[in-house]
Structure 1
Amino acid sequence: MSTQADAVWQLPPGETAEGRLDALLAALRGFGDTELAGRSFCNSNVGYAWRGRAEQDGWDSAYVLMPWMLARVYLPLNAPPVELPVDWSAPARAGQPVQLIGPALDVAVGEELHRLHLQWLEGYGHFLLQPLVQNLARYPDAAAVWGAWDGVLAARDRHRQERLAEMHRQQAAVSRRDFLRRVVGAS
């Protein structure tokens, strides 16, 4: 994928993180209600919402629910050190059809490298998207989607806690062996 060093990020509007996220929902709603209304992959019962906002390393992130997917979004606070593909500058995207999932980019947020999809919406700007659930047809409403996602997060947290506890057990076993070796070896 070719890039263009002078392609500039169009930063999302809004003075606060909440304002930027509310503006994103308005832009998504405008796109969804006009371009995607009635499409089989959209579930109008789930609506538009965001939650779980965090700020890290020059990005605001949040979970965003829209009729066609649940995603984690990353909104740049300043132009990030990530080159835009040539055809993804704001002037190049203007008047082009919106892509539900744009080109994938490897982006460092904090100490983690994420594979995120570049997005651009007219009147809003650039942001990055990580699709989490793309088929919302089986969910009766937004509460069911958020409930299912909460279950995923709870399972992930339990798994992490179990791994951490196992690492502590292994470390304790190693420490006991080292202690016994020193005591037995010293006699």
Structure 2
Amino acid sequence: MPHWRPGPATQMDDATLLAAVETVFQEMQEEHFSSDPSLNPDLPVQIRALREIEGWRSLLLLTPWMLCRLLFPPETADLELPEGYDPETRDPEKFELLGPIVEFPLLDNRQKAHPSFQPQLGSFFIQPLILNMQPFSSPDEVFGAWNRIIRTRDENRKRLNVKSAWHEEIARAELFAR
């Protein structure tokens, strides 16, 4: 099985990482999504809620085509990628943002995410959160909707007496970050 390989993002400080992510996704919008009818032109590329969790850096990324969580593993992460998937050797003429789903441990949960690769960042993981951006007219509306989802999930977990360090950490980071 191929293994995840660290890329430039593992060497970046937080400010450099945020600037690089914003630049990469703005360029992606211009090059690959500009004529997409599902794109919401009222929404910018925006980043919120950068956190470090067990050496992983996590952030929320808003784009005109989705809200997602990006996860950047630490340089020492030992993660297997699906057989036959090597994002660094894919056809450069074929745009591919999401690789096949991968499962990995983080805090007390198994996470599912799509591997992705951008030369300026290296390998990272994407968890799509909201894919229909048409109902929203501002970033605050999108993040407000996501916060309501988090609150509802947390209320249900509390009612069922289910504890999860991952959900508690993510909820704290995403509900209060701006």
Query: Aligning the two structures, in what range does the TM-score lie when normalised by the shorter sequence?
Result: 0.7 to 0.9
Q: Aligned residue for 2:176? A: none
Structure 2: tracts of 5 or more residues without a match: 163-178
Contact 1:62–1:72 under 8 Å retained in 2 = yes
3-state SS of the aligned residue for 1:123?
coil
Q: What amino acid maps onto 1:97 in structure 2?
A: K
* TM-score of the two chains, using structure 1 as the length reference: 0.76
Match of residue 102 from structure 2: 105
The aligned residue for residue 160 of structure 1 is 157
Structure 1 alignment gaps of length 5 or more: 166-187
Partner amino acid, structure 1, of 2:95 = V
Structure 1 residues 136-151: aligned runs within 5 Å: 136-151=133-148
SS at match of 1:40: coil
Which one has a bigger Cα radius of gyration? 1
2:26 corresponds to 1:29 = yes
* TM-score when normalising by structure 2: 0.79
How big is the shift at 1:76?
1.8
Of 112, 118, 122, the match for 2:119: 122
Identity %: 22
Q: Distance in 2 between matches of 1:161 and 1:84?
A: 34
**Counterpart of 1:62?**
59
Q: CA RMSD of the aligned region, Å?
A: 2.2
**Who is 1:95 aligned against?**
92
SS of equivalent residue, structure 1 residue 12: helix
Range with greater deviation from structure 2 (56-65 or 7-16): 7-16
Which of 64, 79, 82 is the matching residue for 1:82?
79
Per the alignment, residue 43 of structure 1 pairs with: 40
| 4+ residue runs over 6 A deviation | none
Q: Equivalents in 2 of 1:112, 1:11: separation in Å?
A: 27
